[in-house]
Structure 1
Amino acid sequence: MARHTSEHDHDPGTHEARIVVSRVIDAPAGDLFDLLTNPARHREFDGSGFVRSEDRSFRISRVGDVFTMNMEGAHMGGEYQTDNHVTAYEQNKMVGWKTAPAGTEPPGWEWLWELQAQGSGATEVTLTYDWGKVTDKELLKKVSFPLVSKDQLEQSLGLLAGAVAAS
């Protein structure tokens, strides 16, 4: 079963911008949460194609955790690393992080995964990509937000469904 919804907000005057996609996945919330909190598995459901592998990571267990990922993308000139600062964590319900170039503080974009059980065997997964808190004007000139499209986010949900089914 797949039900998709999406939303895309952008107001250049206030720098509020986000993309939100949702899908019902035939898997318990706990199984999905296990995948989302394991950075070693993130490449399996990365619809952007930027994630290469985890680096010095561990299972996400609380707000304040930081995990590092090996990435690749033309927007950063090739290979690079990110530090991901966990900003949301609720067992089997949500996990989120702000991403920053390794060794720097997050400049304002955030990923949030929310899980809403739909009975015992299905979960509505909502993925929000929010870059509305990016205030660095030089960064806003240099980086063309959104770096990840709505289609790529929807692909992430499809890949997540495949990854949990294969687990």
Structure 2
Amino acid sequence: MDQENLSATLIVAAPAAKVFAVLADPTTHAAIDGTGWIQEPADRAPLTEAGQVFRMDMHHAKHPDGDYQVANKVQVLDPPRAISWLTGQEKEDGRLEFAGWFWRYDLAPLGPSETEVTLTYDWSAVPPPVRERIQFPPFDPEHLTNSLQHLAELVSGR
């Protein structure tokens, strides 16, 4: 695969502010996740600023530990238009280390009750040593579409 990102787009029957509020709430991320890897948030506070760190408890059968935790650092927080975060881990000494991939949601209002949502997973900044250990993307592309469908279902239920 030559490209270094994947994207999917879906029109959600909800205003952009409502969609953004769901995305900025870490307690919803397990329900949105299209891979099934996110278990629950370790940090439950809403995302309110760039630089904020929030952690998620994860499970992946192919991960050496099975259960693990990621630390996400908010890169973009532009309500109700965009939100993104880098995914990494916290080292034993408390340092955060990011391996170069990020998640981004772009929201385009299509009227008062519809929003076009684009989800992008980008691994273009992943260095060669990490690429030797992890195949990118680490999931099937349809997981992005699944995530957007879960988001739409979650937003419609609020």
Q: Under a length normalisation based on structure 2, what TM-score does the superposition of the two structures give?
A: 0.93
Residue-by-residue CA offset, 1:62-99 (whole Å, 9 max, x unaligned): 11000000000123220000000000110111100000
Which residue pairs with 1:159 in the alignment? 150
Matched, 1:118 2:110: yes
Instruction: Tell me how far apart the structure 2 counterparts of residues 113 and 56 of structure 1 sit (CA, whole Å).
Output: 20
Q: What are the within-5 Å matches in structure 2 for residues 1-167 of structure 1? A: 10-11=1-2, 17-77=4-64, 78-103=66-91, 104-135=96-127, 137-167=128-158
Amino acid at match of 1:121: S
Would the aligned equivalents of 2:26 and 2:43 in 1 still touch at CA under 8 Å? Answer: no
Instruction: Measure how far apart 1:56 and its partner are.
Output: 2.5
Instruction: Measure how far apart 1:105 and its partner are.
Output: 1.4
Instruction: Tell me how far apart the structure 1 counterparts of residues 29 and 4 of structure 2 sit (CA, whole Å).
Output: 24
Instruction: Tell me how far apart the structure 1 counterparts of residues 136 and 40 of structure 2 sit (CA, whole Å).
Output: 23
Identity rate of aligned residues, in percent? 31
Instruction: Tell me how far apart the structure 2 counterparts of residues 151 and 56 of structure 1 sit (CA, whole Å).
Output: 27
Instruction: Tell me how far apart the structure 1 counterparts of residues 101 and 49 of structure 2 sit (CA, whole Å).
Output: 19
Structure 1 alignment gaps of length 5 or more: 1-9
Q: Under a length normalisation based on structure 1, what TM-score does the superposition of the two structures give?
A: 0.88
Instruction: Tell me how far apart the structure 2 counterparts of residues 86 and 152 of structure 1 sit (CA, whole Å).
Output: 21
Amino acid at match of 2:114: A
Would the aligned equivalents of 1:68 and 1:102 in 2 still touch at CA under 8 Å? Answer: no
Instruction: Measure how far apart 1:21 and its partner are.
Output: 0.6
Instruction: Tell me how far apart the structure 2 counterparts of residues 56 and 114 of structure 1 sit (CA, whole Å).
Output: 23
Q: CA RMSD in A?
A: 1.1
Instruction: Measure how far apart 1:57 and its partner are.
Output: 3.1
